[in-house]
């Protein structure tokens, strides 16, 4: 009798705790507030809203890779911003063949994707031709190999020796510094850009005028988000990734070969970071120190959306991007402080939902 | 009860633990094909540690573990699972953000063909899960989670199921259902190795039992004999 009573008491306690820790109404309230806010911002500040969407979609792609890498491989990848910048520079190199020469002037290699026949002829109203797309492909291969190598020779050995998250985080900071140093050594400190051509704009009815390249960014970001989402939720290896994210030990106990899933995650993370970095370079100048600046909003996006949640990373990225731009447009903050507002939003959200908007409290 | 059955699992003088702390100090057990074997003992006896060592989740510092005659001491957990050992941990035994169907699919991750047939077979064993296939496992009750966990482990048709306290935190009714299912699984030909706090119930469905204390073997024998022993009843079965 006593054990039954104890069991009942335990069950009641569990139910009470579950109710207290999972306020579904709060999630819905957050969603309603978000939707209303987004609608109002889009109508009141259309230009800044659009810019925020574009910047946010880049954060979202990078945050998607970051959250996957952290939740699946358990590596807090502080080198993600610098990896984004390095991959953008590799795309730049593949596209132009330009590196810094020994006399501090630029040297151009004979082969680059833009020198292929017709490669620099612009597609539609974009500022680039197919040479840019080929360069991204080259960069994706390089980034994938690089990520696999870093995991194999830096993070994995540490994990095997029982290093905790903090130590691995410090190691990833070391990787970030090494990447930054490599960029400075090969391409120097001067800003670099992909396009020298005219950026054409496109008019859509009553919407603000938009640069054609930005349409490309939005389409690629949306497509990539949909493909990754489909992959994670519809394919066997994608489901295994989500299983690993939930519980790596249990995944191992289910016969999932954890090392294979880890490698797959790094490969996908590599492709995502190349796309994010290369698209960013379509509308911004590249520089070695931009990587660290990017790291903060990327982390904020992943945390805001819910670490481990792919959809959360996407929504988090868009929120961070839009909030950063719109608050400047509203005159609330100076452009130099715009990322602070995004962090303030992140802090407010995680006070109420420490697991983020789409994160799951188990 | 299964005197002539071949030994499926032999853990021989296993020394294991966490870091430098040796919890197991030379424990030996065996499980034969078609048997249900229960390990009982006080808290800290090393019961769960033994299961984790058998599964390769903890290092084995001394002794050996053989499964189907092959020394698996140095094999990875994944290799042991694919070799025919199914494991249901006591806690965190489902993927909470995955649906029930996805949990079962993950159990059969390496199955190339007939995955659906295996899922259907598990659902025959646990019909209550059929209506919840699309639901996140994290939202299920404790009993339903346990069924998903057992179902997941059955997906690879293991020769032996290892269960760590399957009735922990379950209502008496749900606990009864889980024990019924374990018996059913055994009747279908799968050997079962069980660690259970509800020792009386576990021994009642077992062929043999082991009593561990302080990381060492204390007693072993047919389950019915252990149930009849005055000292076992007094110490581990609540009088």
Which of B106, B169, B170 shows the shortest C-beta gap to A254?
A: B106
Mean pLDDT lowest for which of A70-79, A81-90, A100-109, A262-271? A100-109
Name which of B177, B182, B181, B176 is nearest B194 in CA terms.
B182
List C-alpha distances in Å: B198 to B170, B201, B203.
11, 6, 9
Which of B93, B105, B136 shows the shortest C-beta gap to A239?
A: B105
Q: Is A4 close to B172, i.e. CB distance below 8 A? A: yes
Q: For all residues of chain A together, what is the average pLDDT?
A: 87
Q: Is B94 close to A256, i.e. CB distance below 8 A? A: no
pTM: 0.87
Tokens of A249: 């030990």
Chain A residues within an 8 Å CB radius of B98:
239, 242-243, 246
One digit per residue, pLDDT tens: chain B, 239 residues? 444 456 899 999 999 998 888 999 999 999 999 999 999 998 889 999 999 999 999 999 999 999 999 999 999 999 999 999 999 998 899 999 999 999 999 999 988 888 999 999 999 999 999 999 999 999 999 999 999 999 999 999 999 999 999 998 888 888 999 999 999 999 999 999 999 988 899 999 999 999 999 999 999 999 999 999 888 887 777 65
- Per-residue pLDDT at A3: 42
Taken in order A118, A119, A122, A123, is the CA torsion positive or negative? positive
**Kind and range of the H or E element at B113?**
none
pLDDT, mean of residues A166-194: 95
pLDDT > 90? residue A101: no
- Per-residue pLDDT at B21: 86
**C-beta atoms surrounding B134 within 10 Å:** 9
d(CA A270, CA A257): 20
- Per-residue pLDDT at A200: 86
d(CA A150, CA B176): 51
pLDDT > 90? residue A20: no
pLDDT, mean of residues A11-22: 40
- Per-residue pLDDT at A355: 85
- Per-residue pLDDT at A5: 41
The distance of B77 to chain A (nearest Cα, Å) reads 7
Residues 246-265, chain A, touching B (beta carbon < 8 A): 246-247, 249-258
- Per-residue pLDDT at B233: 81
**Kind and range of the H or E element at B70?**
strand B70-71
Closest chain A residue to B85 measured between Cα atoms? A253
pLDDT > 80? residue A108: yes
Give B88's contacts (C-beta < 8 A, 6+ positions apart): B146, B149, B150, B152, B153, B161, B162, B163, B164, B166
Name which of B141, B122, B140 is nearest B130 in CA terms.
B122
d(CA A68, CA A246): 11
Higher pLDDT, B208 or A29: B208
**Kind and range of the H or E element at B116?**
helix B115-125
Residue A37 C-beta-side C-alpha neighbours within 13 Å:
13
- Per-residue pLDDT at A227: 96
pLDDT, mean of residues A9-14: 40
Higher pLDDT, A121 or A145: A145
- Per-residue pLDDT at A196: 61
Closest chain A residue to B102 measured between Cα atoms? A239
Rg, chain A, Cα only: 22
- Per-residue pLDDT at A92: 95
C-beta of residue A68 within 8 angstroms of C-beta of residue A241: yes
- Per-residue pLDDT at A1: 38
Chain A residues within an 8 Å CB radius of B77:
252-253
Mean pLDDT lowest for which of A13-22, A115-124, B103-112? A13-22
Give B122's contacts (C-beta < 8 A, 6+ positions apart): B104, B129, B151, B154, B155
- Per-residue pLDDT at B239: 57
Higher pLDDT, B80 or A329: B80
pLDDT, mean of residues A338-353: 84
d(CA A241, CA B10): 34
Residues 157-176, chain B, touching A (beta carbon < 8 A): 169-172
Mean pLDDT lowest for which of A84-88, A143-147, A305-309? A305-309
pLDDT > 90? residue A18: no
pLDDT, mean of residues A258-275: 96
For the beta sheet containing B208-213, the strands, ordered from the edge strand earlier in sequence to the opposite edge, are: B85-88, B160-164, B191-195, B36-40, B208-213, B216-222
Q: Alpha helix (H) ranges present in chain A?
A: 2-21, 24-44, 46-68, 80-96, 130-150, 156-160, 165-187, 212-234, 236-246, 248-253, 258-283, 290-305, 310-329, 338-352
What is the secondary structure of A89-102 as a DSSP string? Answer: HHHHHHHH-EEE-T
pLDDT band for position A361 (cuts 50, 70, 90): low
Percent of chain A with pLDDT over 70: 91
Tokens of B165: 């306290």
Which of A7, A8, A247 shows the shortest C-beta gap to B95?
A: A247
- Report the range out of A64-68, A305-309, A320-324, B18-22 with the highest average pLDDT: A64-68
């Amino acid at each position: 009798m006593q054990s039954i009573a104890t069991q009942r008491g335990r069950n009641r306690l569990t139910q009470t705790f579950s109710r207290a820790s999972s306020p579904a109404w709060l999630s819905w309230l957050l969603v309603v507030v978000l939707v209303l806010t987004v609608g109002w911002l889009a109508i009141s500040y259309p230009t800044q809203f659009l810019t925020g969407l574009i910047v946010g979609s880049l954060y979202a792609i990078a945050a998607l890779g970051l959250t996957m890498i952290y939740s699946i491989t358990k590596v807090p990848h502080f080198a993600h911003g610098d990896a984004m910048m390095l991959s953008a520079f590799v795309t730049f190199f593949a596209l132009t063949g330009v590196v810094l020469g020994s006399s501090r002037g630029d040297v151009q290699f004979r082969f680059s994707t833009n020198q292929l026949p017709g490669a620099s002829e612009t597609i539609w109203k974009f500022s680039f031709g197919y040479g840019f797309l080929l360069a991204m492909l080259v960069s994706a291969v390089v980034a994938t190999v690089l990520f696999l190598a870093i995991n194999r020779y830096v993070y994995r050995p540490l994990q095997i020796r029982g290093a905790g998250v903090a130590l691995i985080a410090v190691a990833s900071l070391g990787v970030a510094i090494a990447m930054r140093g490599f960029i400075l050594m090969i391409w120097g400190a001067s800003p670099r850009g992909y396009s020298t051509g005219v950026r054409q704009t496109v008019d859509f009815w009553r919407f603000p005028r938009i640069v054609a390249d930005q349409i490309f960014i939005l389409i690629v970001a949306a497509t990539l988000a949909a493909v990754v989402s489909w992959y994670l939720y519809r394919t066997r290896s994608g489901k295994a990734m989500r299983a690993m994210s939930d519980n790596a030990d249990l995944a191992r106990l289910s016969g999932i070969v954890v090392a294979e899933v880890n490698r797959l995650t790094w490969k996908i993370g590599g492709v995502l970071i190349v796309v994010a970095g290369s698209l960013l370079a379509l509308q911004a100048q590249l520089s070695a120190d931009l990587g660290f600046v990017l790291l903060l909003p990327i982390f904020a996006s992943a945390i805001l959306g819910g670490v481990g949640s792919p959809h959360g990373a996407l929504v988090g990225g868009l929120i961070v991007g839009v909030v950063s731009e719109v608050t400047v447009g509203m005159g609330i903050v100076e452009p130099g402080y715009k990322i602070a507002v995004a962090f303030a939003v992140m802090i407010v959200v995680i006070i109420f939902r420490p697991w983020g908007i789409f994160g799951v409290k188990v | 009860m299964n005197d002539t059955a071949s030994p499926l699992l032999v853990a021989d003088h296993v020394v294991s633990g966490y870091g430098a702390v040796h919890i197991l100090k030379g424990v030996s057990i065996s499980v034969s094909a078609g048997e249900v074997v229960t390990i009982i003992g006080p808290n800290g006896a090393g019961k769960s540690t033994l299961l984790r060592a058998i599964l390769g989740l903890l290092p084995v510092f001394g002794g050996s573990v053989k499964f189907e005659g092959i020394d698996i001491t140095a094999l990875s957990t994944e290799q042991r699972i694919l070799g025919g050992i199914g494991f249901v941990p006591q806690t965190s035994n489902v993927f909470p953000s995955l649906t029930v169907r996805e949990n079962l699919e993950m159990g059969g991750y390496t199955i190339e063909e007939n995955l659906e047939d295996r899922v259907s077979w598990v659902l025959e064993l646990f019909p209550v899960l059929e209506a919840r296939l699309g639901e996140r496992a994290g939202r299920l009750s404790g009993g339903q989670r346990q069924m998903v966990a057992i179902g997941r482990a059955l997906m690879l048709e293991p020769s032996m199921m290892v269960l760590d306290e399957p009735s922990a935190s379950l209502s008496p009714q749900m606990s009864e259902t889980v024990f019924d299912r374990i018996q059913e699984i055994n009747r279908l030909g799968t050997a079962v190795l069980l660690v259970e706090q509800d020792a009386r119930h576990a021994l009642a469905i077992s062929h043999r039992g082991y009593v561990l204390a302080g990381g060492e073997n204390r007693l072993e024998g047919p389950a019915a004999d252990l149930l009849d022993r005055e000292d076992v009843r007094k110490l581990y079965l609540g009088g």
